Structure 1
Amino acid sequence: MDTRKQQLEKVIPGFGFYATGIAIDEVGRRVFVSNMQGQLMTLNADTLEITHTQEIEADQLLNLVYDPQGNRLLGVDQGIDRDKPRNNYLGQTYTRRSSGHQLFALDADSGKVLAKVDTDQVPIGLLLDAQQQRIYVTNRNGVRVENGAGTVTVFDARSLQRINTLALPPHPNSLALDEANHGLFVTVKNDGAANKAGTLESVVRISE
């Protein structure tokens, strides 16, 4: 999209089953896109052409973050059972490569796994705080459940070691960082019970 003119600029095909994660390397002029069939695509940010499609060891990288300091891609592997729709799309049986519910660090050039660690169940969003060297991951601990149990898992960005787990209402989703005031904001969506009760969805502020 051309954000100045608010017009469609180009439609890019070729992303396979459920293109989901996207991240940009602004200096290297690369765009990375992940899908739900264990693939990572690299695009030229200027020509918008796919330059590489790599098979990776994570089945479902839902969201991506590019770390320029380490030339890494950080992504959450969601772990939801999508076998039937994926097999129907591919026209063959897909063999799973990962156990899901994990945080991955991949080499941005090769797609090779540098490190991986368990999150809580059903990770959704992630955020890299490069200044504090922390990675925050939102987890839903269930899909379309009546009573959700959300968490934010906190990891050391260098080692991917888990530092903390914060309990939140269901279902934590997106993250935003206020670096100046050291605050982390998390959007929280409703579970089934909250939807039935007509509860408003919310935003949580966490002090770093």
Structure 2
Amino acid sequence: TATNKSVGIVQLMEKKVGKDGKAAYTHDLRELVVDGANNRLYVTGHSGEGSVLFVVDTQSLKVINTIPGLGNAKAPGLALDAKAKRVYTSNLLAEVVTVGTDSGKVEQRFKVSAEQPMNIALDPAGKRLFVTDQGSEMIRKYQASSSGFESKHPGQRVLVLDRTTGKELASIPTDAGPLGILLDAPRKRLYVTNRDGGTVTAYNSDTYKQVATYAVPTHPNSLALDAKKNVLYVTVKNGDSEPKGSEESVARIAL
């Protein structure tokens, strides 16, 4: 960061020739999380033919494992419990899948009541898992193409789960298209980006009551917190009306 230059490149996969005769990468990349104490980087690679978890050594910048079994669907969510040596992922088969960081294998999977489980936030002090359930019509149409799928919930909420059993503990209504999620455990605040609503909503993480709404441009996406300064940063994706090639932005919210 001091020089604003690349210090290395990690090649997660190679291109393969598909049935159409064209070379392409086997997985799309979405989320990553760093385990600094153990020099590990975890990256979800999702694919309808089988999503995986890439494990990277952050010192050598080499892939040391590719863990299969995250589900034959897109796997958007990722959270790390370094103390318990667990990685949690979500997929669009309405599953939460748990991977052991020591075993390098899928150790648990359970169905959840969220039809479109997206990003995940972990309660470090308890058993709770917070999952955005997006409720996207586009995703619903994609899911409908799967045999036997029947939509039973419109989404647009945060689902609170017991991460050991998958049991639903609470359902928190959000604005349209909830996506990114971040838990500030010391301050008991849960923040959610609502991609289609153009807002960031804040909740008391104990009572699940909404305490604030912040309007941001177009499509709020991901979240990062400067806990020391109590400042929230929000990446903002361009909308369809933005000129092609225009720069995207980051919003700063002083909490």
Question: What TM-score, normalized to structure 2?
Answer: 0.74
Deviation at 1:87, TM superposition (A): 4.7
In the alignment, which of 34, 53, 59 is matched to residue 115 of structure 2?
59
* Corresponding residue number in structure 2 for 1:14: 69
Moved more, 93-102 or 58-67: 93-102
Q: Over residues 26-76 of structure 1, what are the superposed CA-to-partner deviations in whole Å (9 max), with x where a residue is unaligned?
A: 111111111011111111111111111101111111100110222111110
- 1:87-133 deviation digits (Å, cap 9, x = unpaired): 54x4x121234321101110010011111111111111011111211
Amino acid in structure 1 at the alignment position of 2:243: N
Distance 1:85 1:76 in 2: 18
Match of 1:71 in 2: 127
Query: SS state of the match for residue 190, structure 2?
Result: strand
Corresponding residue number in structure 1 for 2:143 = 86
Give SS of 1:158's match: coil
Structure 1 partner of 2:168:
113
Q: Partner of 1:171 in structure 2? A: 219
Within the alignment, does 1:132 sit opposite 2:187 as a pair?
yes
Partner Cα separation in structure 1 for residue 191 and residue 242 of structure 2: 25
1:194 match: secondary structure: coil
Q: Matches of 1:195 and 1:61 in 2, distance apart? A: 31
Paired positions, count:
198
> Are the counterparts in 2 of residues 58 and 97 from structure 1 also a CA contact under 8 Å?
no
Unpaired runs of 5+ residues, structure 1, are: 142-148
**Higher RCO (Cα < 8 Å, 6 or more apart):** 1
Structure 2: gaps spanning 5 or more residues: 1-55
Q: For residue 232 of structure 2, what is the aligned residue in structure 1?
A: 184
Identify, as 1 or 2, the structure richer in strand: 2
Q: 8-17 vs 168-177, which deviates more?
A: 8-17
- For the residue of structure 1 that corresponds to 2:243, the secondary structure is helix
Moved over 6 A (4+): none
Q: TM-score, normalised by structure 1?
A: 0.89
1:26 maps to 82
Structure with higher Rg: it is 2
* Partner secondary structure for residue 142 of structure 2: helix
Identity %: 39
For residues 195 and 12 of structure 1, the distance between their equivalents in structure 2, rounded to whole angstroms, comes to 40
User: What is the aligned partner in structure 1 of residue 60 from structure 2?
Assistant: 5
